[in-house]
Amino acid sequence: MKYYKKILILILFIITISLFCKNSFAGVSHVLSRNADYSTDDHAFLTTDTLYVQVTQNILDYREIKKSFFTLKSHQTKNKTKYPLIWNSDLTAFTGLAPLENYPIGDKITIHITLRGKNAKDEIKRKDRFVIGNTGKWTLTGTIYEKISDKGTGTLTNARVRIQGVADINTDDISYYPQEDDKFILSGENGNFAIDYEGISGQVIVITAGKEGYKNAGKEITLGHNNSVTITLSLVSAEDHPSYEYRSSKSCEKCHSTIYNDWQDSDMAYAAVNPINQLVFLLYTAWYVTGDRANFTDPSIFNDPNPAFVGDKGKIFEDATGRYMILGDAGHIHDCADCHSPSYASKVQGDGVTPLWDMRAGILTDVDKLSFVDKQGVHCDFCHKMHSVRDEEEYWTEPGVNYKVNLLRPDPLLESSREGKVMFGPFDDVIYKSMQASYAAQFKKSEICSPCHQDARKLYLQPLDGNNQPKGDAIERILWSEDTYREWRFSGYSGLEEDYPVNNYVGKVLQCQDCHMKDPPPDPTIGKSIADYREITDPFFMISEEKRKYATKRDPRTIYPHRFEGTNQNLTAGKRKRYLDWAVDLTVTDTKVEDGILSFDVNLINSHTGHTYPSGVTQRNVVLLVEATQSGTVLSQSNDQVIDTPGGNFPDGYYEGKGDYAGKPGKIFMKHNRMIVDNDELSPFFYDILYAHAVEELYDTRIKANQTDTTHYEFQTIDTSKITITARLIYRFLPKGTLEFAARNGYVIPLEENDYESHKVGVSLNP
Ligand code: HEC
Ligand code: HEC
Ligand code: HEC
Ligand code: HEC
Ligand code: HEC
């Protein structure tokens, strides 16, 4: 290469770099809008419109700008008119407006924007164009194709075609989120479609198409010019690549900052490293490997990389239905990671039970098998690599990702190409290139949550006679544990089961997402909403401020900020737990005094929970504590409606009897299981029962959706002065027995962090 050519290339290189830097560090952007809030970027206007101009820049100090204006030049008349741009400190931008009534339909208008500083060289100039059109209704037509191979294409039927950003929402219904009245149409047999659109001639819109298993695609169309398009969708590779390296949620933050912040504040982000999970994990592992729960602090249990299941195998127990020997358990050693560190567990997807089995996060052992991304628990890239979830009944007893989820992870070798990327999501009209988005219908359904929010222990039992000899065939016993999905499904919230017609406080189907990814909808009958209710109003909510130019303006009701809020165990003690306050109502009724006996009912109404209350892991329980006082004396109860043993009775324990409610007037709401108690050290733990160890369900007093629990109380009065009745509801993350057990083993959880008083009702009466 000649000498001067090299120099030329070098100069070009430097120019390119400097232009690039200038663009990324300093910039000017403008919006031409038909709306006074600059919410749309338009290039077609009506003569009845006002043009709203907004200019943002970070090159000059706005105080030094001496002249700021724009001019409009008509293509037809050549007339030029000047309008001022004025500093708007709320928007930190220059804004201006111009009526368009004097321009003829069909006119093309050039806009020149000028911001001028003190010196002549400090000048910013921008040029753009728009058209004046007329309103009309266009029938837009076209054909959807699929790319079959590198060579050819074929037409694609049943693709969802829509105008980008026009949502599946009934605009008349402002109350919440109906999915009737869909605004998309399906492509026909030859891939053809025709879609009506009302707009302005000259306006540019995007037609998009999406179909499960394909990447979304779209094309621009100018109304009145070309009303027909062809769109070609390419298939998502049907092969899952377990060697794919998940992307850190941090990498999503720069474009999805609000979603990231909400997720980061939720328990989801700590599912792998939460200390209480670690304790329970160690318990589980110890028992799984050695059959004994007591030696869980012994690190040698981790030496065997692929241990056989021991658990309760071979143990004998008896219950009301008979005597049994435990033959085995459907559990696997990586069970916990399947839900708590799903990206880690999914690396073994091929054969399910490979040696990569434990989820010892670095906080407890030196051997840290979880990577930086795996430690992010249930993270962005994991959920958005789920293509579909198997939701048939047979999967309800299986834990987490290895059995229920179809992941489609791209080939890591193609990382830098389009084929090396895919993002599954709820929208069929996201066509932003670096996402490679693919529509997945289940993202709008509770089923997407079901792999982890539905689980059971499946036991294989051999019935025995009195002499421990086999009696009949082996049987299967299912002990539902995290049962939230089924609780929702068989309730008036799902609309999925014939026996449970839609019946709840809003009268519409509500998915998990509708209550947990955003705030639950307000109650129209009582006119109340959850404390600090926040509705999404920003149509660009899903994209960070700086990246909005890539985003589509959307109906805010279609956007789900990822709050994943529920009982919020990670909120500090004393902080209000909104969902627990909102979940139920507590009332005291039928109060009377007869023959010196005070009697009344306490009603606990599951009015706003989309499933059983309390839900979740079997440890969750709620204590209803009832008290009656007269003349400063606590009255003694004269009936036997009292709190059962799991309410706590440990006067000599770590907490010295504080928070011990067993035997007091009231009721405990919990799913109470039983495990085989083979170790005295662990007996308090009996009152809790980690589902993984359960052999029998003793009772389930939790309240199903829309149902009311009523308990009756009687107290002996002492005189005729005023009586005060108090009913309190205390939500407990862990039962008292588990707290005592944990404290004894060095995991001290303060009572104020575990117990949350959500309701307190006081009633006074004169006998
Ligand atoms: C537990 C699974 C899960 C996790 C974790 C998750 N998402 Fe989502 N995401 C969903 C579901 C489900 C939807 C669809 C909600 C709907 O429309 O009903 C969704 C929707 C979205 C959307 C579409 C816009 C919207 O908000 O509705 C974006 C963008 C998105 N997620 C990005 C992220 C990012 C970024 C993270 C991490 C910070 C993340 N997601 C973590 C399940 C998840
Ligand atoms: C460079 C910016 C950028 C980054 C980084 C980014 N996104 Fe996006 N993402 C977008 C844009 C832009 C859209 C489309 C917005 C629209 O059309 O309204 C989008 C859309 C999505 C959607 C919706 C897809 C659909 O069809 O429903 C999901 C899900 C999503 N992103 C997840 C993620 C996740 C997870 C990460 C991190 C691994 C991530 N994004 C990183 C810019 C980004
Ligand atoms: C109508 C609103 C609503 C719907 C629908 C709903 N939930 Fe809930 N959810 C609540 C409320 C209120 C609470 C707090 C009371 C409680 O813990 O039972 C809660 C609590 C939870 C908890 C916390 C349990 C714990 O142990 O901390 C989880 C997990 C949960 N829900 C998951 C789900 C899943 C999964 C679905 C869908 C299958 C769902 N929810 C549907 C309102 C709802
Ligand atoms: C890959 C497994 C997985 C999926 C999928 C999943 N979750 Fe979870 N979720 C978890 C785990 C694990 C936790 C418990 C985190 C902890 O406390 O350690 C959790 C916790 C929660 C909580 C409890 C937060 C609290 O405050 O108590 C809510 C609410 C929740 N998830 C809702 C959802 C919803 C809604 C979906 C579907 C859109 C979903 N989850 C999908 C695994 C999952
Ligand atoms: C089927 C999925 C699934 C499996 C398998 C699973 N978990 Fe969970 N776990 C969850 C979900 C979802 C939650 C959170 C919401 C709730 O309370 O239901 C949770 C919550 C917990 C909690 C309560 C956390 C808290 O903040 O109080 C502990 C402890 C826990 N899991 C430990 C374990 C251990 C140990 C294992 C393995 C034996 C395990 N889990 C297996 C899904 C699962």
Average pLDDT estimate for 618-640: 96
* 528 in a structural domain: no
The answer to whether residue 352 sits within a structural domain is: yes
Residues 582 and 726 in one domain: yes
**Cα–Cα dist 510/609, whole Å:** 10
| Contact (CB, 8 A) for 263 and 562 | yes
Which ligand 5 atom minimizes the distance to the CA of 455?
Answer: 1
Q: Is 680 exposed, middle or buried (0-12, 13-18, 19+ CB in 10 A)?
A: exposed
Residue 495 lies in a domain: no
Counts of helices then strands in the chain (DSSP H, E): 13, 36
570 CA closest ligand 5 atom index? 26
Question: Do 127 and 152 reside in the same domain of the chain?
Answer: no
The type of residue at 67 is K
What is the tens place of the pLDDT at every residue in 88-108?
999 999 999 999 999 999 999
Q: Is residue 671 part of a domain?
A: yes
Which residue type is seen at 315? K
Give the Å distance between the CA of 414 and the centre of ligand 1. Answer: 24
Q: Which residues line ligand 2 (CB under 6 A)?
A: 247, 251-252, 254-256, 380-381, 384, 423, 425-427, 430, 432, 434-435, 437, 439, 542-543, 547, 550-552, 554
Mutate to test the pocket of ligand 3, among 452, 519, 608, 611 (most ligand atoms within 8 A of CB): 611
Q: What is the mean pLDDT of the chain?
A: 88
The pLDDT-based confidence of 174 (bands split at 50, 70, 90) is very low
Look up tokens 């009245």; give the residue: 181
Q: Which of 12-16, 49-53, 402-406, 693-697 has the lowest mean pLDDT?
A: 12-16
Residues 622 and 707 in one domain: yes
Q: Which residues pair with 708 in a beta bridge?
A: 605
| DSSP symbol at 133 | -
pLDDT per residue as tens digits for the range 451-482 = 999 988 899 999 999 999 999 999 999 998 88
Q: Is the pLDDT of residue 685 over 50?
A: yes
**Where is 602: in which H helix or E strand?**
strand 597-605
CA distance 127 to 62: 20
The CB of 334 under 6 Å from ligand 1? The reply is: no
Q: Which residue has the higher pLDDT, 686 or 129?
A: 129
Please tell me the predicted confidence (pLDDT) of residue 213: 96
Residues 6 or more apart in contact with residue 111 via CB below 8 angstroms: 32, 53, 70, 71, 72, 73, 127, 128, 129, 130
Domain boundary among 203, 234, 265: 234
Q: How confident is the model at residue 182 (pLDDT cuts 50, 70, 90)?
A: low
Domain stop point among 469, 486, 503: 486
CATH number for 148:
2.60.40.1120
Q: How far is the CA of 197 from the centre of ligand 3 (A)?
A: 40
Has residue 171 got a pLDDT over 60?
A: no
Q: Give the DSSP H or E segment for 516.
A: helix 512-516
Residues 678 and 610 in one domain: yes
Range of the domain at 298: 250-421+453-486
Residue whose pair of structure tokens reads 């509500």 in the numeric block: 510
| CATH number, domain with residue 125 | 2.60.40.10
What pLDDT, on the 0 to 100 scale, is given for residue 669? Answer: 98
The domain total for the chain is: 4
Q: Which two tokens stand for residue 174?
A: 């402002």
Q: Whose CA is nearest to atom 26 of ligand 3?
A: 616
User: Contact at 8 Å (CB) between 483 and 454?
Assistant: yes
Q: Are residues 46 and 65 in the same domain?
A: yes
pLDDT digits over 536-572, tens only? 989 899 999 888 888 998 888 889 999 999 998 777 7
Q: Answer yes or no: are the C-beta atoms of 382 and 246 closer than 8 Å.
A: yes
Compute the distance between CA of residue 57 and CA of residue 25 in angstroms, rounded to an integer.
Answer: 11
Measure 517 CA to ligand 1 centroid, in angstroms. Answer: 8
Q: What percentage of the chain has pLDDT greater than the value 70?
A: 89
Residue 143 sits in the same domain as residue 62: no
Residue 172 has pLDDT above 50, yes or no: no
Q: What is the DSSP code (8-state) at residue 305?
A: S
Q: Is the pLDDT at 207 greater than 80, yes or no? A: yes
- Cβ of 259 less than 6 Å from ligand 1: yes
**Three-class SS string for 22-52?**
HHHHCCEEEEEECCCCCCCCCCEECCCCEEE
- Of 701, 203, 729, 210, nearest to 429 by C-alpha is 210
Is the Cα torsion angle 742, 744, 748, 750 positive or negative in sign? positive
Ligand 1 mutation pick, 382, 535, 562, max ligand atoms within 8 A of CB: 562
Instruction: Sort 621 into a burial class: Cβ within 10 Å, 0-12 / 13-18 / 19+.
Output: buried
What residue's CA is closest to ligand 2, atom 29? 425
Do 144 and 177 fall within a single domain?
Answer: yes
For residues 659-670, average pLDDT:
97
Query: Taking 60 as the threshold, does the pLDDT of residue 758 lie above it?
Result: yes
Confidence of residue 1 (pLDDT cuts 50, 70, 90): very low
pLDDT at 305 over 80: no
Tell me whether residue 18 is in a domain.
Answer: yes
One DSSP character per residue, 578-590 reads HHHHHH-EEEEEE
Q: Does residue 23 have a pLDDT over 60?
A: no
Q: What is the pLDDT at residue 359?
A: 54
Claim to verify: residue 635 and residue 588 sit in the same structural domain:
yes
Q: Which of 320-329, 686-695, 717-726, 755-764 is predicted least confidently? A: 686-695
Which pTM value belongs to this model?
Answer: 0.91
- pLDDT of the residue at 155: 95
pLDDT score of 688: 61
Tell me whether strands 192-200 and 153-155 are parallel, antiparallel or unpaired. Answer: unpaired
**pLDDT, tens digit, for every residue of 390-408?**
988 888 888 778 778 999 9
- β-strand partners of 592: 599
Write phi, then psi, for 645 (nearest 5 degrees): -50, -40
Q: What are 344's strand-pairing partners?
A: none
Atom of ligand 1 nearest to the CA of 541: 26
The tokens for 307 are 């241990």
Q: Is the pLDDT of residue 353 over 80?
A: no
Instruction: Answer yes or no: do 260 and 378 share one domain.
Output: yes
Residue 370: C-alpha distances to residues 344, 367, 500, 672 (Å): 7, 9, 42, 33
Last residue of a domain, one of 132, 157, 185: 132
Lowest mean pLDDT across 60-64, 186-190, 282-286: 282-286
The number of C-alpha atoms within 13 Å of 609 and in the hemisphere containing its C-beta is: 28
Q: Identify whether residues 415 and 385 lie together within a single domain.
A: yes
Distance in Å, CA 59 to ligand 4 centroid: 45
At 687 the pLDDT is 61
Residue 296 confidence (pLDDT) above 80: no
Q: Is residue 541 part of a domain?
A: no
10 and 94 assigned to the same domain = yes
* Cα gap 287→309, rounded to integer Å: 9
Interatomic CA distance for residues 131 and 45, integer angstroms: 6
Joined together, the tokens standing for residue 650 give 């440990």
Residue with the bigger pLDDT between 415 and 263: it is: 263
Residue 436 falls within a domain, yes or no?
Answer: no
* Cβ atoms < 10 Å from Cβ of 734: 22
Structural domain contains residue 513: no
Same domain as 297, residue 164: no
Mean pLDDT within 507-521: 94
